[in-house]
Chains A and B, each alone.
Chain A
Amino acid sequence: AQSVTQPDIHITVSEGASLELRCNYSYGATPYLFWYVQSPGQGLQLLLKYFSGDTLVQGIKGFEAEFKRSQSSFNLRKPSVHWSDAAEYFCAVGDKTSYDKVIFGPGTSLSVIP
């Protein structure tokens, strides 16, 4: 069965510092991969997605992610974090064989210190 793990429950970084959020997935073939962000009281917003091709994906708000098949990973990065980036981040895998059913990881909560 498909699954997603996010090893870090909570991360705190200083404003201006770099950020990397980890994501590992379990899927039998090349998956669709996503990163979503959820601010308090808000719905989910798609940051970026990987379907195929270039393994380094650029997203909105200055985020990028790299797909590494050998490590079954899809880590999210940002070179310089802003206070407004404080939120919950979810990695997700899309099941191509099940009409786009999306399986989410447990999430990583990001706090930003001024």
Chain B
Amino acid sequence: DAGVTQSPTHLIKTRGQQVTLRCSPKSGHDTVSWYQQALGQGPQFIFQYYEEEERQRGNFPDRFSGHQFPNYSSELNVNALLLGDSALYLCASSFSVPYNEQFFGPGTRLTVL
């Protein structure tokens, strides 16, 4: 079992650009959550996807959007990048039945210049 995988590992963008991050959940998991972890802080919940729909959202602007595919993999899109979007973006997967443990991927480090 490969666990949760994320790509790319690192990414450098400039202000105003758009970025797409990808996540493959652990085998058998159907729910994907995304978190933003700024340097020196705890992860902040962005949103959660289940059955290809956004089920829950944290306090993030509409510039942050996502998608879940039929195979349960997911993408996080961020438009009009700001310097403050520089962070580690973590994906977590779980079964849909609450509550089940979330398994985290290694993250994508995004740097906005």
Decide whether A and B assemble into one complex: yes
A23 CB to nearest B CB, Å: 11
Beta-carbon contact of A104 and B99 below 8 Å = no
Beta-carbon contact of A107 and B42 below 8 Å = yes
The interface on chain B, measured as residues whose beta carbon lies within 8 A of the other chain's beta carbons, has a size of 28
List residues of chain A with CB under 8 Å of any chain B CB: 4, 32, 36, 41-46, 49, 51, 90, 92, 94, 96, 98-107
Beta-carbon contact of A107 and B102 below 8 Å = no
Beta-carbon contact of B48 and A103 below 8 Å = no
Beta-carbon contact of A99 and B42 below 8 Å = no
Given contacts A90-B42, A102-B102, A106-B42, 19 further A-B contacts (CB under 8 A): A41-B106, A42-B106, A43-B104, A43-B105, A44-B43, A46-B101, A96-B99, A99-B50, A99-B55, A100-B33, A100-B94, A100-B98, A100-B102, A101-B45, A102-B92, A103-B45, A104-B42, A104-B43, A107-B40
List residues of chain B with CB under 8 Å of any chain A CB: 4, 31, 33, 35, 40-45, 48, 50, 55-56, 58, 90, 92, 94, 98-107
